[in-house]
Amino acid sequence: MNYLPIFLDLRDRHCLVVGGSETAARKAELLLRAGAHVDVAALALHEGFARLPHPDHLQRVADTFTPGLLEGKDLVIVVEEDASRAKVVADAARARNIPVNVADKPALCSFILPSIIDRSPIMVAVSSGGESPVLARMLRARLETLIPAAYGRLSALASRYKDRVRAAIKPQQRRAFWEKVFLSPVAEMVFSGRDVEAESQLDAMIREGAEHDIRRGEVYLVGAGPGNPDLLTFRALRLMQQADVVVHDRLVSQPILDMCRRDAERIYVGKERDDHAVPQEEINLLLVRLAKEGKRVLRLKGGDPFIFGRGGEEIETLAEHSVPFQVVPGITAAAGVASYAGIPLTHRDYAQSVAFVTGHLKENTFNMNWEGIARKDQTIVIYMGLKGLPLLCEALIKHGLTADTPAAIVQHGTLPTQRVITGDLTTLPALAEQAGLKAPTLIIVGNVVKLREKLGWYQPELHSEQAHRTPLEAPDHLR
């Protein structure tokens, strides 16, 4: 071990920062956040200093460093390119046994500043001992994704309940009790902002003592995005890794399913080829039953659960049965596909609004307010429209769009098998047919489609043999 990690209490301590650059401002900020008073020696201060917290704890005391500035200081940070000038400060500080850090000059430091993950009061510090700050920073980024933003609030809850738990739970059972609390839905309740519920659950656990397992089931309705695992949210990933059972359908891609907890039970409720999908009411009741068995149930949906995802229906049933649930938004196909196809859905010159519509045919017609939809200053995104494409294009022309309105159809948006076919309302149906596209596909209609020529950046089909494979297959009613 080259360095001993410690956490310094700097509240109302006095620190010196030598240097007025942007980097110096960031160092001063750390000290201020830790409650210190900061003197700065610099000819001028970067504007970043003006935005720091607790400005009354910060003052520029001199143009340059003089040893007298070390009087009464507990810590010194130097941001100075010139090595010999930096060394003068470092030596003077060391001579007085004041800890000193010199940015980017590890040899002059008596301590180093780690990369930190701040979930106050929980703090994680990562350091490579000054040898590879980039590596430490990358590790920090990975840890950031793993630790929920509200982790500190969980710690605060524990601190509020400390005395009550001490009074109710025997010392030898306390540790097990807290472990149970942190693994219970209480933690997820805090992370999702349901503090009142978390407290009443914790009260119940204290009443029952640590002996009883009163684990309550819960349903996480999670949007998995359009298929590319990179587009999952941190929250989705976290819940995927703690669920006991995963209920999914065909739109959720295999790489995403692979990221769920390995030993979680998986229940497929989509449609096998030529078979019928599990009816919606049965799925709703399945979720209720699993949660009532005490399980943490992950209901994993493609895209966003509230956009053509029947998420509303599923949680309505949960609410009727008093099953706790939370909803995690996902990147909806329109947003994901548009980005990866280089088609901005709105644009000041071409589209002032965007409409998401379903192209699902019912008895060969669409039940839609075409007047509100077919407008030349609006982008139209059509989900589930592959089968109905010829009829859709016809209807849009009939209701006022010109035949040469640009239109695109995107297969497997965001995935390595993405393909984009562009044309206009008259040519697109035949082009799509010729291309032999596989579901899921998304249709985008409007002048913004023209921008793809300039803005298309993701073109896996140019170098991919896989463009004709199907990692995702949507059930028929979604085509």
The residue among 181 and 474 lying less far from ligand SAH, judged by its C-beta, is 474
Active site residue 292: no
Strand partners, 422: 408
Three-state SS annotation for 284-317: HHHHHHHHHCCCEEEEEECECCCCCCCHHHHHHH
User: Is beta strand 441-445 parallel, antiparallel or unpaired with respect to 406-411?
Assistant: antiparallel
Contact 446, 350 (CB under 8 A): yes
The residue among 299 and 412 lying less far from ligand SAH, judged by its C-beta, is 412
- The reply, when asked if residue 333 is annotated as ligand binding, is yes
CB atoms within 10 A of CB 25: 22
Q: Residue 326, interface with ligand SAH (CB under 6 A)?
A: no
Contact 101, 112 (CB under 8 A): yes
- The reply, when asked if residue 384 is annotated as ligand binding, is yes
Tokens representing 328?
């995690």
Nearest to 291 by CA among 243, 240, 239, 224: 243
| Neighbouring residues of 141: CB distance < 8 A, sequence distance ≥ 6 | none
- The reply, when asked if residue 136 is annotated as ligand binding, is no
Q: Residue 304, interface with ligand SAH (CB under 6 A)?
A: yes
Among 249, 295, 301, 438, which one carries the catalytic annotation? Answer: 249
At residue 110's C-alpha, the angle toward residues 108 and 113, to 5°, is 95
The residue nearest ligand SAH at its CB is 303
Using DSSP, state whether 248 is helix, strand or coil. strand
- The reply, when asked if residue 368 is annotated as ligand binding, is no
- The reply, when asked if residue 23 is annotated as ligand binding, is yes
Q: Residue 333, interface with ligand SAH (CB under 6 A)?
A: yes
Among 73, 271, 295, 438, which one carries the catalytic annotation? Answer: 271
The residue among 191 and 366 lying less far from ligand SAH, judged by its C-beta, is 366
Contact 325, 220 (CB under 8 A): yes
Residue from 309, 324, 342, 406 in contact with ligand SAH (CB under 6 A): 309
Residue from 21, 101, 201, 332 in contact with ligand SAH (CB under 6 A): 332
- Distance, in Å, from the CA atom of 70 to the CA atom of 73, rounded to the nearest integer, reads 5
Q: Residue 227, interface with ligand SAH (CB under 6 A)?
A: yes
Tokens representing 303?
């895209």
Tokens representing 60?
């520029």
Residue from 184, 317, 414, 422 in contact with ligand SAH (CB under 6 A): 414
> At its nearest, how many Å lie between ligand SAH and the CB of residue 465?
19
At residue 281's C-alpha, the angle toward residues 279 and 283, to 5°, is 75
Q: Residue 229, interface with ligand SAH (CB under 6 A)?
A: no
Tokens representing 43?
């000819």
- The reply, when asked if residue 1 is annotated as ligand binding, is no
Nearest to 45 by CA among 28, 57, 60, 29: 60
Q: Residue 366, interface with ligand SAH (CB under 6 A)?
A: no
Active site residue 91: no
Residue from 32, 103, 307, 323 in contact with ligand SAH (CB under 6 A): 307
Name the DSSP class of 152: H
Question: Which range in 16-24, 100-108, 181-189, 412-420 contacts ligand SAH by CB under 6 A?
Answer: 412-420
Q: Residue 114, interface with ligand SAH (CB under 6 A)?
A: no
Nearest to 335 by CA among 322, 346, 327: 346
Residue from 380, 383, 429, 438 in contact with ligand SAH (CB under 6 A): 383
The residue among 244 and 304 lying less far from ligand SAH, judged by its C-beta, is 304
Three-state SS annotation for 343-387: CCCCECCCECEEEEEECCCECCECCCCHHHHCCCCEEEEEECCCC
Residue from 18, 126, 157, 474 in contact with ligand SAH (CB under 6 A): 474
- The reply, when asked if residue 413 is annotated as ligand binding, is yes
Q: Residue 236, interface with ligand SAH (CB under 6 A)?
A: no
The residue among 25 and 384 lying less far from ligand SAH, judged by its C-beta, is 384
> At its nearest, how many Å lie between ligand SAH and the CB of residue 423?
17
> Which helix (H) or strand (E) segment is 441 a member of?
strand 441-445
- The reply, when asked if residue 303 is annotated as ligand binding, is yes
Residue from 413, 423, 429, 446 in contact with ligand SAH (CB under 6 A): 413
Handedness of CA 191, 197, 200, 204 (dihedral sign): negative
> Which helix (H) or strand (E) segment is 168 a member of?
helix 151-168
The residue among 41 and 231 lying less far from ligand SAH, judged by its C-beta, is 231
Window 440-469: residues binding ligand SAH (CB under 6 A): 440-442
Contact 379, 355 (CB under 8 A): yes
Window 207-226: residues binding ligand SAH (CB under 6 A): 226
> At its nearest, how many Å lie between ligand SAH and the CB of residue 83?
54
Query: Which residues belong to the annotated binding site for S-adenosyl-L-methionine?
Result: 226, 302-304, 307, 332-333, 384, 413
Q: Which residues bind ligand SAH (CB under 6 A)?
A: 226-227, 251, 301-304, 307-309, 332-333, 337, 383-384, 410, 412-414, 439-442, 474, 478
Query: Which residues belong to the annotated binding site for NAD(+)?
Result: 22-23, 43-44
Query: Which residues belong to the annotated binding site?
Result: 22-23, 43-44, 226, 302-304, 307, 332-333, 384, 413
Active site amino acids: 249, 271
